[in-house]
Chain A
Amino acid sequence: MQITIKIFRYNPEKDKKPRYESYKLEAVETDRVLDLLEKVKGYQDGTLSFRRSCAHGICGSDAMRINGFNRLACKTLVRDTGAKITVEPILGLKVIKDLIVDMEPFFENFRSVIPYFVNDEPEPAQERLQSPEQRERFDDTTKCILCACCTTSCPSFWANEQYLGPAAIVNAHRFIFDSRDRAAAERLKILNDIFGIHRCHTIFNCTLACPREIQVTKAIGEVKKAIVTGSLE
């Protein structure tokens, strides 16, 4: 089948304003949008710029707006998009070139929630034990790949990039509810900030956009409840 792919283009060294360029190419239904971008770059226009790495939905490099909705290009098939495809960069971050955005504000928010294990107690002789139920408590939020699909689909983040955003909260959730961790109170204090969790208006764009199908809004709701009640139960 013939596909028309319309791509957001912007080269800060040449263009005053962004523009869209359309490319026609042959594809099959099982091609991914990433394959189409590779074909365009390889055979039609070598100046096209986009991020990609593993191409298997693990690294989270190729998050972009495909037909107006945040997705990973490597997990989006032509049969789900139709023959006319529009590809644009994710919203709320500065465009560096074409589909590449400056991810630094996103990672700055991520780093601010202490997204790593904290426990200064003396190490036990063997591993720190945890029951299957305790592990299950934060299992969903361990799946985050930091692709930014959720954060850049959030109207609260669009309004203000200082808002920590769903991805940072999901990664805080992963450690807050880990029974071995000891920095939950500190993280909850950070999330209780004016640009913290209360900017979430339970819109659900993040949950729909997540390519790992994490229940993002549910995780945010659990953290909200922990802040209000002061309990991790």
Chain B
Amino acid sequence: MGLKRNVGLIEGLRYQGKGPMLTYILHRIGGLAIVIFVAVHILSSYFGGNIGIFFNTFYMHWAFQIFIFFCALFHAINGLRIVILDLWPKLIEHQREAIWVEWAVFLPIYAIAVFVIARTALGG
């Protein structure tokens, strides 16, 4: 009878959940990126030699560092927001404001980090 369950990755990503859905997706991407980052570190040490140097140049590249810092910082701050709301459910009424606070904390820290990484990379 009928279709199978009508949901998959693409259908899920198409859902217009606005701000909260965006933080959820970024949190998952961030978690995955952190796992990849740690895995590359471990593989680099495990293999050593030319393969290790290849992995080193990959994760030490400034563009990758800007990306991974976005993932790690967002994952941390978003996780903190969720922990706080889970521990004090009364605050959940202010979840919209909590997301704005999250971005207000995240953006300046990230902007400073990008500036420092880029300036260092460009020899400033």
Contact = CB atoms under 8 A, between A and B. Distances in A.
Contact of B17 (A93, A95, A153, A217): A153
Instruction: Indicate the size class of the contact surface on chain B.
Output: 20 to 34
Given A12-B1, A222-B89, A94 B6 contact: yes
Contact of A95 (B6, B20, B95): B6
Given A201-B24, A204-B20, A222-B89, A94 B14 contact: no
B3 A94 contact: yes
A208 B14 contact: no
A97 to B, nearest CB: 7
Given A205-B15, A217-B92, A218-B89, A97 B2 contact: yes
Contacts of B2: 10, 12, 94-97, 102
Interface residues of A, number: 35
B89 A91 contact: no
Interface in B1-20: 1-7, 11-12, 14-18, 20
A92 B20 contact: no
Given A18-B3, A201-B24, A224 B15 contact: no
Interface in A58-108: 65, 67-69, 89, 91-97, 101-102
Contacts of B17: 69, 153, 203-205, 208
A226 B8 CA distance: 33
B116 interface: no
Nearest to A100: B2
B85 interface: yes
B66 to A, nearest CB: 27
A12 B1 CA distance: 7
A158 interface: yes
A202 interface: yes
B101 interface: no
Given A202-B85, A218-B93, 16 more contacts: A12-B2, A68-B14, A69-B16, A69-B17, A92-B7, A94-B4, A101-B6, A102-B1, A155-B12, A155-B24, A158-B12, A208-B20, A215-B92, A217-B92, A221-B86, A221-B89
23 contacts: A10-B3, A12-B3, A18-B3, A65-B15, A69-B15, A69-B16, A69-B17, A92-B6, A92-B7, A94-B2, A94-B3, A95-B3, A101-B6, A161-B5, A201-B24, A202-B92, A203-B20, A203-B24, A204-B20, A205-B24, A207-B95, A208-B18, A218-B90
